[in-house]
């Protein structure tokens, strides 16, 4: 509390009205608590610019991560691997992943086999449906394939992804997550097979 | 209040300082949270989840948000379109609404694009219109910058916020439109976490 010097040299106490301030603070607090609606934390992923279909396959001599220093080349990095993702076209699970293929630099396309990984704790509270489990198994298969393939590719950072037009964006993000988990951080997208230019 | 000793009532003086500290700290927390929510983004879009998404960078000077809303063929979407396609006086703007829906309520588009981060009318645009708008916006920005410095480059970062249920073809189309317009930096938005399973 502040004090004021009195006439006789002593100090008189000046009362500080704290009640209105407390009232206001509690009202504000109540307002914010009632209107507080925490949204999920939003994040971002860097994207390479989309590419033309004919750029999907590169020659061996193009694959050199140190070859380009200018911005354009950095945004459009050469890559050894191209992941092709097919989608379920109709029904309740339309837009889910149906099959995944990985094409290497020589043009050999490998179909990804589903791998069942037993997890100690389920990733989400509710039980996975059959289709969701199949999708998860395919993603685990892709994860295993990329781990293996990474040892043989010269560019260990960049790869291309080509999805069917019907595939949902949430599934594109799952594919991106698997790629990034394996160190492929420069992901560029190819047009869907049915894309009209 | 505590009872004083003897015959008189003693004056109880509760120590208000810790209480005030707590209240003000809570107040500060909520005020700050409100500021985070006040981004120029649309809440009409339901983002998907990603384990590899990084927290948003605050350092970017020029940003453009493209919110891609998937238009489901249901009554909620129709109500939403009627809500957003309005003129300044709050009346339904039939011209805007007709771009997305006919008189029978049949949807004409599968995607609505809401642009934020620039001075633009806050109603949804079709993909086609967005494409021409992006080209114009890029040229205008470049012209403004080059009027000051002839070698200046447009450094706008385009943030794409797609609905999780949006189809890849629309998402690719929008990325391609950005590239064709001249933008060089693209970012994709998602909620952080979810174990890739949401």
The pLDDT of residue B29 is 84
Q: Which residues of A touch B15 (CB under 8 A)?
A: none
Q: Do B168 and A32 touch (CB under 8 A)?
A: no
- The shortest C-alpha distance from A183 to chain B (Å) reads 11
Determine the length of chain A. Answer: 197
The pLDDT tens digits of the residues spanning A68-116 come to: 333 344 445 677 889 999 999 888 888 999 999 999 888 888 898 888 8
The pLDDT of residue A69 is 35
- The shortest C-alpha distance from B110 to chain A (Å) reads 12
What is the average per-residue pLDDT within B19-34?
82
What is the average per-residue pLDDT within B58-83?
86
Q: Please state whether beta strands A97-103 and A109-111 pair in parallel, antiparallel, or not at all (unpaired).
A: antiparallel
The pLDDT tens digits of the residues spanning A24-71 come to: 888 888 888 888 777 678 888 888 888 764 444 344 444 444 433 333
What is the average per-residue pLDDT within B122-140?
88
Residue whose pair of structure tokens reads 């174990």 in the numeric block: B195
Q: What DSSP letter does each residue of A33-98 carry, written as one string?
A: HHH--PPPPEEEEEEPPP--GGGSS--GGG--TTS--SHHHHHS---SEEEEEEE--SSTTTTSEE
- The shortest C-alpha distance from B133 to chain A (Å) reads 19
How many Å apart are CA B37 and CA B46, to the nearest integer?
15
How many Å apart are CA B27 and CA A134, to the nearest integer?
47
Instruction: Please report, for residues A20, A85, B4, B20, B40, the alpha-carbon distance to residue B11 in angstroms, rounded to integers and kept in the order given.
Output: 21, 77, 7, 21, 53
Asked if residue A179 lies in contact with residue A150, where contact means CB atoms within 8 angstroms, the answer is: no
Quick check: ipTM above 0.90? no
Q: Which residues of A touch B190 (CB under 8 A)?
A: 42-45, 173
pLDDT at residue B82 tops 70: yes
Q: What's the pLDDT band for A10 if we cut at 50, 70, 90?
A: low
Residue whose pair of structure tokens reads 């642009």 in the numeric block: B115
Mean pLDDT of chain B: 82
Q: Which residues of B touch A163 (CB under 8 A)?
A: 168, 172
Q: How far is CA A116 from the centre of its chain?
A: 22
Q: Please state whether beta strands A158-163 and B54-55 pair in parallel, antiparallel, or not at all (unpaired).
A: unpaired
Most confidently predicted of A52-61, B5-14, B171-180: B171-180
């Amino acid at each position: 509390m502040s004090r004021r010097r009195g006439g006789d040299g002593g100090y008189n106490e000046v009362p500080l009205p704290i009640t209105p301030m407390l009232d206001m603070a509690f009202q504000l607090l109540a307002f914010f608590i009632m209107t507080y609606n925490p949204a999920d934390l939003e994040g971002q992923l860097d994207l390479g610019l989309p590419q033309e279909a004919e750029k999907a396959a590169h020659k061996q001599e193009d694959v050199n991560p140190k070859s380009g220093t200018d911005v354009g080349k950095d945004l459009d990095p050469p890559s050894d691997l191209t992941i092709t993702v097919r989608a379920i076209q109709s029904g309740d699970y339309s837009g889910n992943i149906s099959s995944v293929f990985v094409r290497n630099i020589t043009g050999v396309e490998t179909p990804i086999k589903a791998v069942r990984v037993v997890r100690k704790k389920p990733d989400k509270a509710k039980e996975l449906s059959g289709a969701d489990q199949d999708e998860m198994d395919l993603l685990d298969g892709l994860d295993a394939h990329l781990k293996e393939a990474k040892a043989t590719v010269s560019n260990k950072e960049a790869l291309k992804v080509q999805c069917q037009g019907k595939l949902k964006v949430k599934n594109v993000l799952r594919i991106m997550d698997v790629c990034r988990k394996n160190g492929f951080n420069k992901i560029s997208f190819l047009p869907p097979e049915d894309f009209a230019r | 209040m505590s009872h004083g000793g003897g015959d008189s009532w003693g004056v109880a003086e509760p120590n208000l300082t810790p209480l005030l500290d707590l209240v003000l700290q809570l107040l500060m927390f909520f005020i700050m949270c409100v500021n985070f929510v006040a981004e120029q983004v649309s809440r009409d879009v339901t983002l998907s989840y990603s384990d590899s998404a990084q927290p948003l960078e605050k350092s970017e000077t020029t940003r453009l948000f493209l919110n891609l809303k998937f238009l489901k063929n249901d009554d909620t979407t129709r109500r939403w379109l009627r809500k957003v396609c309005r003129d300044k006086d709050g009346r339904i703007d039939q011209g805007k609404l007709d771009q997305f829906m006919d008189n029978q309520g049949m949807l004409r588009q599968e995607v609505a694009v809401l642009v934020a981060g620039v001075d633009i009318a806050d109603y949804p645009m079709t993909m086609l219109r967005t494409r021409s708008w992006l080209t114009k916006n890029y040229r205008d920005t470049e012209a403004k910058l080059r009027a000051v410095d002839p070698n200046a480059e447009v450094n706008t970062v385009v943030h794409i916020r797609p609905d999780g249920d949006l189809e890849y073809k629309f998402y690719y189309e929008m990325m391609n439109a950005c590239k064709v317009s001249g933008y060089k930096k693209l970012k994709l938005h998602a909620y952080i976490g979810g174990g890739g399973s949401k």
